Amino acid sequence: MGRLYREDYPNKHYLTAAQLVDRMNRDGVDISVVLPLESPEGHWGWLLTEEVVAARDEFPDRLIAFMCLDPRYPSLERLFDVCIEQHGCKGFGEHVPGLPFDDPLNKRIYAKCDEYNVPIDIEIGGVCTDEPGLPRLEACLKEFPSCIFVGHGPGFWANISGDCESSSGYPPGLVAPGGAIDRLMAQYENLYADISAGSGWNAISRDPQFYEGFIERNWQRLMYGSDIMYAGHQIPQVQWMKQKKGELDPEVYFAIAEGNARRILKMGERQRPT
């Protein structure tokens, strides 16, 4: 949803809430988390939290509202409370401000997510920055143990490989063991990851054999995601999930498809299909 990819409009046309739900029906998605985008460095445009709340109210059984507040907003803490307590937002993101990941302004947000024990969907890359090995993310994982960080974006997924030299882009080739994501997931229970967007697809497709082992190690904190941006947006993860349904252990598939998301969103358990 939202006025995204403005420089490519109308070739990349934004979605209405009804069009998003129609696309969900065709892709086999029951419920979507809708992420606002309010930081100007997000490049593609904007989608206000209030617009996401209105879409959720239009389709309350299909859409979950997150909030997104720019860390430079003066009354951030007060508005965060309003979004949780009055608007029923279930988390924060997409978090992609033009600041270092551990900037004190960003920590205002992490502290509020820690207070409420809600997830924050983070994009690390050329805008919200960290270094190879993700030391800034690790420092925040330590400092805010009740904040559930959901990793996403080129700079995050580049660190699946132990030979990551730049926390940006879409590195090709085989994945070297010893990547920061494996290490951080093993060490910090508040780190999750979604496989959305081109960065997530690059991570799961560049070395399928490595990713099989990555799933075995981390399936309890991996989640499907689309990061759909515009009408007609192609999402190869949809077909990948359909393929994996016949290949993965049913418990593992269910966790990635919905179980892990349900847990961190405090939605309650849905019986796993046999």
C-alpha triplet 132, 198, 264: angle, nearest 5°: 80
**Nearest CA among 182, 181, 175 for reference residue 161:** 175
**Prior bond of 154 cis (ω within 30°):** no
Tokens 């606002």 — which residue?
A: 36
Q: Residues 69-85: pLDDT tens digits? A: 999 999 999 999 999 99
H helix runs in 47-121, sequence order: 49-58, 76-85, 104-116
Q: At 272, is the pLDDT very low, low, confident or very high (cuts 50, 70, 90)?
A: low
Query: What's the topology of domain 6-264?
Result: TIM Barrel (3.20.20)
pLDDT class of 6 with cuts at 50, 70, 90: confident
Q: What is the largest CA-CA distance in the chain?
A: 50
Q: Is the peptide bond before 94 cis (omega within 30 degrees of 0)?
A: yes
pTM (global) more than 0.85: yes
Domain boundary assignment for the chain? 6-264
Q: What is the pLDDT of residue 271?
A: 56
The model's pLDDT over 120-169, given as tens digits with 9 standing for 90+, comes to 999 998 889 999 999 999 999 999 999 999 999 999 999 999 999 877 77
